[in-house]
Amino acid sequence: MPLTHTEIAALVAKESAYRRMDDDRTRGAGGLGVKVLPSGGKMFVFRYTRNEKRAFIQLGRFPTLSLADAREKAKAFSQMIRDGLDPKDELARQDREREQEKREHEQQGTIEQLFKSYTEQMKKDGKRTHAAVLLALEKETYPVIKPTTKAKDVTAHDIKIILAHMIRRGADTQSNRVRSYLMAAFNHGLKHDAKFGLVLNPVAAIPKQKAAERVGERFLTWAEARQLLDDMEQPTSLGLTLRTLIRLCFFTGGQRPYELAASRWASIDWQAKTLTITAELSKNGRPHLIPLTDSALRVLREQQAATGDSPFIFAHATKPSEPMPMASLSQAIDRYRKRAEMAHFIPRDFRRTCKTLMGELGIAKDLRDRLQNHALNDVSSKHYDRYEYLPEKRRALELWERRLLDLAADNVISASFGGRV
């Protein structure tokens, strides 16, 4: 017979727990029961067969849970069994889903989400620095602000602490960069107010470190440039790939190291003696055609013989399907500079060196700008002039190459005569 509220209320406790089942005349899909505890408490349970053994699921205490509601719960579990589901497994799955939803809710609008949302947008916009920006934000922010902190709870004081830590360790310039990253990230969040709940940008009130932002002035002298290129011709602790990249930066008139490093062999036209920096690699989003001198071709052929099957001219040392990381070049230059006891310089200074020294050779500024693929903002260049200036660029690079090679010859003569020429 089916259980009644009166019958359940009249059940008395015994020395050990026992159950009274509800006979609803269904078979094979489990059933409702009441477990009477020695304390006198009564618990509704759902009983079914699981892996050929009886299994029980607690539904709730009587009379807090009514008999009618207990039957509804039991009915839902019985339907799961009819649908081929195990109620306990299904409950576990639902618990996992709730836990996942809880975690997602807790993470909603966090500073971690803000940084990832901002840098993902950078990636969609074709900004190749997106990964470096995310790394810098995480490195400098998380020691001060936990990643789970809601973005709307970050204050100007928090930002000051982040930047102060950087300034104290002497990273003034980097502190300005991180400040600009934070400013842009929070501006991005303001555009998505429903997600982050921001009403203001906490970075806006924090000034930049003006003394840290100086225009770069370092460029290598002719003698330093020649010493560097001579050393890069010789096997050293720097591998061939790094030495080739450095030489190619110079022989192509100061191209951006990243654009060369991320280029593929398919971008070289060996017959026409050109290398194309494709639009997706070019900083200004326009393809850039570079004439290759004999010296550039020579180091490229050396590199090609050593790279194997990688599609990249400058492949990652352990991941041939990826280009080499720029950190490798910076680290290599730092090691070389200390060993050679040269004044401080970084890879970025190669570009300034070539621009400056080519100017000393009498190569016109507009041609040097075109050689280095600077964004030309006059109306004619932006909208109408699609001429590649390839012959002019080739003549300029050949003049540049001759000067570099003449310096090499001067070095040989100087060495032969004990430095007296």
Task: List pLDDT tens digits, range 44-78.
Answer: 999 998 888 899 999 999 999 999 999 999 999 99
Above pLDDT 70, what percent of the chain?
89
104, pLDDT greater than 80: no
- Write out the E strands in 170-304: 268-269, 274-277, 288-291
Q: What is the band of 420 on the pLDDT scale with cuts at 50, 70, 90? A: very low
Give the residue, 192 or 393, on which the prediction is more confident: 393
Q: Report how far residue 333's alpha carbon sits from residue 326's, in angstroms, rounded to the nearest whole number.
A: 11
Q: What is the band of 406 on the pLDDT scale with cuts at 50, 70, 90? A: confident
Q: Report how far residue 269's alpha carbon sits from residue 258's, in angstroms, rounded to the nearest whole number.
A: 20
**Cα angle at 405 between 400 and 407, to 5 degrees?**
100
DSSP helix/strand/coil, 161: helix
249, pLDDT greater than 80: yes
| Tens digit of each residue's pLDDT (9 = 90 or more) over 250-272 | 999 999 999 999 999 999 999 99
Question: Tell me, what's the pLDDT at 193?
Answer: 61
Question: Tell me, what's the pLDDT at 418?
Answer: 41
All residues at 6 or more sequence positions from 120 whose CB lies less than 8 Å from its CB, including other chains:
130
Of 22, 25, 114, 120, which Cα lies nearest the Cα of 68?
22
21-37: average pLDDT = 83
Most distant CA pair in the chain: distance in Å?
A: 119
DSSP helix/strand/coil, 372: coil
Token readout for 239 is 């591998």
134, pLDDT greater than 80: yes
Strands 42-50 and 53-62, sheet pairing:
antiparallel
Of the listed ranges 119-123, 322-326, 357-361, the least confidently predicted one is: 322-326
Give the residue, 379 or 358, on which the prediction is more confident: 358
Above pLDDT 90, what percent of the chain?
56
Give the residue, 284 or 61, on which the prediction is more confident: 61
Of 169, 176, 170, 171, which Cα lies nearest the Cα of 159?
176
303, pLDDT greater than 80: yes
Instruction: Determine the residue type at 119.
Output: T
Question: Tell me, what's the pLDDT at 77?
Answer: 93
Question: Tell me, what's the pLDDT at 382?
Answer: 54
Q: Could you give phi then psi for residue 349, rounded to 5 degrees?
A: -75, -15
DSSP helix/strand/coil, 332: helix
204-209: average pLDDT = 83
Of the listed ranges 45-54, 194-203, 212-221, 325-334, the least confidently predicted one is: 212-221
Strands 268-269 and 53-62, sheet pairing:
unpaired
